[in-house]
Structures are given as structure tokens and as C-alpha cells.
Chain A
Amino acid sequence: MSAYILRRILYAIPILIGVNLLTFTLFFVVNSPDDMARAHLGTKYVTPAMIQAWKREHGYDKPLLYNSSAPGLGRVTDTIFFTQSVDMFAFRFGRSDDGRDIGRDIRARMGPSLEIQLPVFVIGLATNITFALLTVFFRATYLDLAGTVLSVALMSISGLFYIIAGQYLFAIVLRLVPISGYAGGVESFKFVALPVAIGVVAGVGSGTRWYRTLFLEESGKDYVRTARAKGLSEAQVLFRHVLRNGMIPILTGAVVVIPTLFMGSLIMESFFGIPGLGSYTIDAIQSQDFGIVRAMVFLGSVLYIVGLLLTDLSYTLFDPRVRF
């Protein structure tokens, strides 16, 4: 197992370099260091000398990828790409264009993102699986049909609609929760309750449909017939046998997203005023802050790789045939 994990970690290095290079290229295709300086310095009274000074101060006065005027290895290392990338592999994200420590900001914003994403994930997963098992239980009945219609209807509605309708109904008409905002500690409950509920409801349709498909496939297998033949109740068959054997595809979809829960939700955080990493990324893209953008993409890539690794490892818990 250790050798397998080490091998996967080593595989991750070229992937991360590639992701970093791709992010770098895409960002600088759209923005030049001059554009970044202008965005930072504003539109009034900006002189070429000020732009040069800003670039020098922030390390953007070097060539992008190849420095033909530098000697030896400096041709590669004395470039924006190298100087801006190498520290990230040690998880030193540097400073944003407005001078703040990115690592510290990320740590501060992870908490609020998790407060939304973790409950949405856990409650959503439990709800989706339960609904899916119920529709399988009632398969080929009117209840199954009603569940399918409801799921398709829920899937068809835009996520933004859930947010606006949820805010309108629960915060404005019923006045049960604040429409937006955030507070730490126990106070956070009243701020995250609505976004969590919306996150769960918005995912129920697609989740139920997906898990229903998995469970239907499982429920047609021989071992299920055997279990029924043994005289087990349908609930026991579904929740004990079908669910357990359906865990591999569930894990494939679920475990991989666990690490990325830290990354937050872009729209939800913006509408509810949650100071998480989703809104951090959006703000950085809008303000052309390359330091934050590359840090977030890098972090997202690392977390995704970790998620895939965890998924593979989790298979061993549910399927004794899988061994590394």
C-alpha cells in the first residue's frame, strides 16, 4: 500500500507542473503584466514609469517563460513562471497583488466554505441515497413514477433559482433567517442553515436519479434474489445488501469531492455573503490577481489528486478483492 501511495504522489508532480503551466499560459494569454499593473494602479494619472515600478516590485518585470538574456540555468529560473511557481510546491503561496499573505487568507476562508459544503455533502448524500433506495423499493409503482418526475423537475431548475427563491421565501416573506451574512461560532447556524438547505435540495434531483440507476442495477443481481429467497425483508435487502454492494460507484463519485469541499461554492458564497474560498477565487479572477488564481488552481488540483487517491484507497474498505 505504501509503495502504491508513494507512486501516486510521484505521479502527481508532473500533473501539477502541467496544471501550473496551463494556468500560467491561459492567464497570460488574457492578461499581460502591463494589464495587471494598470488594473492595480487604476485608470487615473497612471504613467509608464509607475507601471514599470509596479512590475518590478511584484516580480513581473521578467520574461514569462524563457529569459534569453540570462546566463546558464537563469534562462529558465529567472522568469515569471519559475519564480512564481517553485514556491507553491512547498505550499508557500506568496502574496496577493494587494500585499496580503495568500496562505493565511486561504486558511481563514476554508472554515466558512466547509461550514456550507460539508453539511451539504453529508446531508445531501444521505438524502439522495435514501430517496434512491425508496424509489427502488417502490419501483414500477406510482410512487416511483412520482419520485422520478419530481427528480427530473428538481434537476431542471437552475441553481440560481433555488438561491433567489430560497432567499425570497425564507428570508423576506417568512423572515426566518437573515438573507445574507456570516458570523463565526454558534451564531453561524442562522446564516448557513438556508444555504445548506438550498444546497441539499438543489442536488436531490440529480443525486436521486444517479443512485437509483446504480441501485436498480444492483437489485437485479443474483445475490439480491438469493437474499430475498432467504426471506429477508425488502428493507433489509436494500439497506444491507444492495447499499453495501453499490458503495463502489458511490465512493467513486463521493470520496473524490471530499477534499475539494474546502474550495467552496462560487455562486452560493457570493449570494449569501459567505466569506469562503469560492468568492475568494471569483474576486481574484475579476481583479486579475494572478497570485491568488494560480494558488487556488494549484490547491484545487492537489485536493483533486488527493481525492482520487482517497477514492482508490477507500475501495479496499468495501471490496475485499481490491488490494494494492
Chain B
Amino acid sequence: MTQLGFWIALIATVVFAGCARTPWNDPYPASDRAANILYTAFQERPKHLDPAVSYSSNEVILTGQIYEPPLQYSYLARPYRLEPLTAERVPRPHYLDRQGRPLPSDAPDAQVAYSVYYIHIKPGIRYQPHPAFARDAAGHFLYQHLTPAQLARIHRLSDFPETGTKELTAADYVYEIKRLASPTLDSPILGLMSQHIVGLAQYAKRLAAAYARAPHAFLDLRRYPLTGAKTIDRYTYRIELYGKYPQFKYWLAMPFFAPVPWAVDHFYAQPGMANRNLTLDWFPVGTGPYMLTVNDPNRRMVLVRNPNFHWETYPIQGAPGDAKAGLLKDAGRRLPFVDKVVFSLEKEQIPYWNKFLQGYYDASGIGPDNFDQAIRVGANGEAGLTPAMRKRGIRLQKSVQTSIMYMGFNMLDPVVGGYSQRARDLRQAISIAINYEAYIAIFLNGRGIPAQGPIPPGIFGHVSGPQGIDPYVYDWADGRAQRKPIAEARRLLAEAGYPGGRDAKTGKPLLLYLDTVATGPSDAARLDWLRAQFRKLDIQLVVRATDYNRFQDKMRKGHDQIFEWGWNADYPDPENFLFLLYGPNREVGKNGENAANYENPEYDRLFEAMRDMDDTPARQAIIDRMVRIAQRDAPWVWGFYPVQYTLYHSWYHNAKLNLMANNTLKYLRIDPRARERARDRWNRPRIWPLGVLAGLLVAGILPVAVSYRRKERRVARPSEREGQA
């Protein structure tokens, strides 16, 4: 081809491609266009996918689709409700006394020595295809005794030519409970579960001793019985707990209690597998609707429909308003709807947001930088989508999270801590002064609700309206909670012994210290705002910003004074929030989650009475009393309950935020054709600026070329003096 021919071909290709309807900026393979694939992203690579270890939200979004614990949360029902997943029914505890004799279900707590749960699982459920289950014609495992020669050919899981499956049995669930105590796994709930599951603490010690004796040998947990978890028959197992622990049922909906067959554990434990990064921590094996086929946490992770997934259908009943919102259109249809889910690594917010706008992600949150582009707050204060978003058919969903962000006082601190009226007055004054309504408006774009107590909306025990306000901080006026005037805070401060922000005895200004991990430049404005809140009372706030490790160290030792902290619900029970103020759960000395080290005997007594109760009016009455005590003592400035805004494209169906469930991908449906049309419409390449750019380049090069030629052809001429000579 001549040079001219090459350039003509190149220009023709560019022009043709420019006219083609296929977007150039499509980050996905052309073969996946119009496929039934859901596209989403992860910001931080998951560390663990082993169900005994994984706990973070970016991990359970994957493990939740693969592993099936016995229970799950109803997708549509509100308030949150447990329902069977692989279990036949939601188990109810049987109570036993110290001698192992049965007790009635209403037996007093003091008599109940053990709670026993019998869990019956549905027969016929099968695992995803996996080489760990592969057998030859004689029924022997193919890959449970790998030789070095076999392993030499293996670099990834797909290098195993054969796969197999097996039926889910009760033994698989028991095996996983035992794995929680494995010395090689470091399960984050071992400490907590050791307090509840009978014999688990001793079991962990026994396994640790066995591991120390033979650190490189496979620890076959079938050889080590556990008192608190036993197989009864092929489809039934029993879990035995110390005393009453009604919240245990919620744990049965988490991947920690999902099944792991010994064959899988043994398969991955073979020598040489870990060196190839082939571990259960990276390649989970479950019975769920999806299986992980690509695990490249540096780039993307892919879930594909599990061909062996059991029969499960979309819910036929929902909460009020769900039918009107179109959430029951797929009622009774078989799950899952989507064939494949692609998770792409997206560390930065800018690419993520723009890919969402280009149609390459199906849903997105809203970052602070994009808020104004996406949301317009109306005259009535109601947030809605901007016209640009509505034009694209994007929908907005808002949901109050089952979380609380608060500012805590260290109750062991001699200045802000303690239980005297003087100390209470000081804390209440600060609670009034810190205007969280303004905070939410300024720093959260309105995405929050000022908290009145420790229990967020959506959790039993939360009371809204005039009955639910903190009467020490708010008044109910004009149909809403109104923060008490700053004069009231000043009065309380004076009564606390600090009139005008000075110690009445010494005359020294009151200096308080906030310990925080907010060290970034973006935190400066927020911390300035906080200082300004304290200045309203003429209190000087000193911010002690530190890294997370040092911060935690201070908290553990009780060297903090005021701190910022938060809590996200593990399960929808008030116990999971009220225990944050339970004395025996304090951080200093007990290493618990009560970061304020709050200790009120009456509160603790009520907590112990409340935690084992069903959600009855009597329980509500106790919770109300506990919240009132906490409001009076004010160990926290209650802060706010975050509100989550999520955007969905028009082709994304059945979206309903469920803050408790982590196996929700199976309910989602997309319309890939509509997505393809939108992507084509939104992403037509603009190539004419390239022509302009080329023109500019030519215009820039031309004078250079002319000057170059002129300079090269210039003839050296003798000077006039030389000529005369």
C-alpha cells in the first residue's frame, strides 16, 4: 500500500467508526452488548470471601449472593422480617434448665440455662458446579488428592477439567460453625459467638492446640465434635446457646452461618493451592443464585447465574405502596432475573459518576461533588432530581439508614464525664449548642435526620413525633422538633459551674478536647464549624486530630474526652443499639462497644430485661425508659441518622433499598435493550474536534517547517568588512 493509500484507509476507518452507532467509550466487550448483565462497581477490593471471615459491606455484597445461610430478610416487607431461605421455617428456641430439662417458652430468664435451635433445611438444594465435588465413574473424588504433577498444570480454578456438585446437608452448616473457631481463619465473630454457642471457646483452644501440633496438616473439623453445634440427621442440625439470646436468629441470616462442606475445605487446603491464590477466601463455593467465575480484585469480579440454583420466586406480597411503585410486577417469577453481574474496580468518584451518566453503570450513589448536578432541593425543602437527570429517566430513592453518627463524651473524664447534675448540665448544654440541623444542611446536603436517641427509624423502639424528642435538647413547637435556644444552653453551662465559658472557681476558660481521625484537608471546614458551635458557649474546643490507630488506642485506654463515632446495625433489633450504652460493654477495661464508657445501673438493669423480650408494648415501654435515662445523662450528643440517596437508570427494575439483606441481587431485573439504546444515544463519539485539533497542529507545524527550510537554505554571506577586504 502506498503512503497515500494508508492515510486514506486510516481516515476512512476513523470516519466510518465515527458514523457507526457503537460507542467508542464502551468499557465492556462488544460481545456483551445487550446481554442480561448488571453492571456495578466496587471501590475497595474485598479482602475476604470466606464466609467465616468476611464481614465488610464490600465483601458481603459478593458472599451474600453465593452463600445461603438458613434464613434471609424478606426483600419487600417492612419492618424488616426474617423468613426461611434454605431452612424449612424460622426456628424458635427451646429452653432448657441447668440439668437439661425442657422449660416452657415463657420461662423466666433466670431459669433458662440453654437455648436450643433445631434447624431443618430443605432437601434437594445443590451446590454450584465446582472441582471440589468432581468424582470419577466409581464415585471417587477426582481432585481431593492432587499430585505435584497434576498441580503443575493448574493455575486457575478453570484449569480443572471436571466439576461436580453435591446436595446441601445439615453437616455442611455444622462444619461452618466449627470453622468460626479455626485458628487459621481469625473469624471476627469468634469472640462474640464464644459467649453464646456452648463450648465454642473451649473448641477454639482445642483446635489451636491441634494446629500447633501439626501446622501444615489439614485440620479436619469432622474429627472434632462441638457441643453447641451438632448434626441430627441429613437435613437437621441443632445449635445450643448459653441462656437466652433471641437476637441469635438474626445471625442465622448472615454468611457466617452459611454452609461449607468439608470437601471444599479439604480441596483448598491441599499443598500448592494457596501458592496459586486458590483458596476459599478467594473462590467461594455456595448454593446461592450466583457463583463467582472471575475474581480479579485488581480489576473486576464477575458473578454468573448458578445453574444448580434451587427454585425460589419473587415475593408476591410487599409493604404498602410497593405495588404502586411497580415492585410487585415480577411477583411469583423465578429468581434470579439477571444472568451475570460485573463488579468493576472504580477507586475514584469522578469516573464512577460519569460512567453512570454514560449508562455504563446501572445505579449510583451521589457524591458531594455531584450533588448539585443530580439533586435540586425544592421550596418545601424536599429533594428531587434535576431536570437533566429526569431527562435521562433516572430515578431517585431515599432511605434512612439503620445507622447513627454521634459525638460521645468519655464518661470517665473528670471534666465532661461523671453522673453529677453538674456534669449532666454541661453535656446537655453542649448537646443544645451543636446544631445538627445546620450540620446536615451544610455538610450532608440535607442527607440526614437529627437524632433524638440511640435507635434509628426502622428499628423497633424508635419513637417519632413529640413523644420521641429529646426533651433536654428540643421542644415540640409548630408541629416539629425545635432545638432549644442557645440561652438555655448558656443557663445550663452556668449551672454546671462554667458561667460565660469560664470555671467559676478558678476563672480559667473552659477548654475541651475533641479526638478525631478527621485529618484530611476536606475536614478542615467541618472542624472549624464544630469549634464555632462550642464558641457559642464561649468554650474553646481543641481538636486533637490523629491517625486511626492512635485514636483507637486512646479510646481503649480512656484517654479521650470528646470523640466522633458511629454505629451501623448488624440486625434490626434495638438491642444492637442500646447495648452501645450498656455498662458491662464499656470500652475501657471490657474492650466492648460502649465507647463512651457509660454506666448507669438502672439503664443496665432495664437493658438486661429488654434484650431477651419479643417486640411487645412491654418491651417498648422499657426501651422508652432507657432512652429517657440516656437523654437525661447525655453521654452522647445524638448526632444524626444518615439518609442514603441512590440513583437508578430507567432500565433498572425492582430496586428497593433493604439495609439488612445482603442477597438482594437476585431480585433485580434490568432491560438490556433499553440500556443499549440509551448508551448508543448518549455516547455517540464526537470526532469533528479531532479535525480541528489536526488543523491546529498543521497550523502550528507549518511555520516551523517553513522556518526550517528557510534556515536550511540560508547561504552564509561574507560581512561587508570582509567583502571590502
Chain A contacts to B: CB under 8 angstroms? 30-32, 35, 38-50, 53-54, 57, 95, 97-101, 104-105, 108-109, 134, 137-138, 141, 143, 164, 167, 171-183, 187, 190-191, 233-235, 270-273, 275, 279-280, 283, 287
Contacts and interface: CB of A to CB of B under 8 A. Distances in A.
Given A174-B689, A271-B348, A179 B354 contact: yes
Given A98-B48, A275-B296, A57 B549 contact: no
B26 A53 contact: no
Contacts of A40: 47, 186
Given A48-B591, A172-B354, A181-B344, A137 B711 contact: yes
Nearest to B56: A42
Contacts of B518: none
Contact of A180 (B275, B351, B553, B707): B351
Interface string B274-286: 1111010110000
Given A143-B704, A176-B687, A180-B27, A44 B549 contact: no
B345 A143 contact: no
Contact of A101 (B55, B186, B277): B277
Nearest to B682: A175
B503 interface: no
Interface in B671-725: 683-687, 689-690, 703-704, 707-708, 711-712
A45 B188 contact: yes
B189 interface: yes
Contact of B191 (A49, A167, A190): A49
B239 to A, nearest CB: 18
A104 B273 CA distance: 13
Contact of B708 (A31, A32, A101, A137): A137
Contacts of A100: 277, 282
Given A190-B24, A271-B348, A273-B347, A141 B188 contact: no
B148 interface: no
Contacts of B570: 44
B159 interface: no
A33 B377 CA distance: 48
Given A173-B686, A182-B299, A101 B276 contact: yes
Interface in B569-618: 570, 591, 593
Nearest to A36: B549
Contacts of A175: 23-25, 358, 683-686
30 contacts: A38-B549, A39-B549, A40-B47, A45-B192, A46-B591, A47-B591, A53-B208, A57-B184, A98-B48, A100-B277, A101-B277, A105-B277, A134-B704, A143-B707, A167-B354, A171-B25, A172-B358, A175-B358, A175-B685, A176-B687, A178-B355, A179-B358, A180-B348, A191-B27, A235-B712, A271-B348, A271-B351, A275-B345, A283-B44, A287-B47
A259 to B, nearest CB: 22
B190 interface: yes
A51 B236 CA distance: 34
Contacts of B208: 53
A57 B208 CA distance: 10
Contacts of B360: 178
Given A178-B26, A180-B348, A180-B351, 16 more contacts: A40-B186, A43-B552, A46-B591, A50-B191, A99-B279, A138-B704, A164-B350, A172-B358, A174-B686, A175-B24, A179-B351, A179-B354, A180-B346, A183-B29, A273-B299, A287-B47
B370 interface: no
A31 B685 contact: no
B350 A176 contact: no
B408 to A, nearest CB: 14
A138 B25 CA distance: 40
Nearest to A231: B716
B707 A141 contact: yes
A46 B55 CA distance: 12
B106 interface: no
Contacts of B281: 98-99
B45 interface: yes
B182 to A, nearest CB: 10
Given A183-B29, A273-B345, A167 B275 contact: no
B24 A177 contact: yes
A40 B548 CA distance: 13
A283 B593 contact: no
Contacts of B274: 95, 99, 101
A182 B189 CA distance: 36
A277 to B, nearest CB: 10
Contacts of A174: 685-687, 689-690
B191 A179 contact: no
Contacts of A183: 27, 29
A275 B347 contact: no
Contacts of B199: none
Interface of B: 23-27, 29, 44-45, 47-48, 55-56, 183-184, 186, 188-192, 208, 274-277, 279, 281-282, 296, 298-299, 344-348, 350-351, 354-355, 358, 360, 547-549, 552-553, 570, 591, 593, 683-687, 689-690, 703-704, 707-708, 711-712
A53 B121 CA distance: 33
Contacts of A270: 347-348
B25 A44 contact: no
Closest 7 CB pairs of A and B: A275-B298, A47-B191, A178-B27, A180-B351, A35-B549, A181-B27, A98-B47
A229 B686 CA distance: 52
Contacts of A171: 25, 354
B258 to A, nearest CB: 18
Nearest to B186: A54
Contact of A41 (B184, B188, B192): B188
A273 B351 contact: yes
Contacts of A44: 55, 188, 570, 593
Given A48-B591, A143-B704, A167-B351, A57 B25 contact: no
A171 B355 CA distance: 10
Nearest to B704: A143
B186 A41 contact: yes
Contacts of B707: 138, 141, 143
A290 to B, nearest CB: 13
Contact of B277 (A104, A177, A182, A234): A104
Nearest to A50: B191
Contacts of A54: 186
A38 B703 contact: no
B55 A38 contact: no
B355 A180 contact: yes
Contacts of A49: 191
A287 B712 CA distance: 60
Contact of B29 (A187, A273, A287): A187
B2 to A, nearest CB: 25
A137 B547 CA distance: 54
Contacts of A39: 548-549
Contact of B346 (A57, A138, A273): A273
A181 B26 CA distance: 10
Contact of A283 (B23, B45, B346, B553): B45
Among B274, B298, B593, which residue has the most Cβ atoms of chain A within 10 A?
B298
A180 B188 CA distance: 34
Nearest to B44: A283
A109 B522 CA distance: 32
B191 A176 contact: no
Contact of B712 (A95, A134, A167, A234): A234
Given A35-B549, A104-B275, A234-B711, A275 B299 contact: yes
A151 B141 CA distance: 67
Contacts of A47: 191, 591
A53 B190 CA distance: 11
A136 to B, nearest CB: 12
A46 B191 contact: yes
A44 to B, nearest CB: 7
A53 B183 contact: yes
Contacts of A32: 549
Contacts of B298: 105, 108-109, 275, 279-280
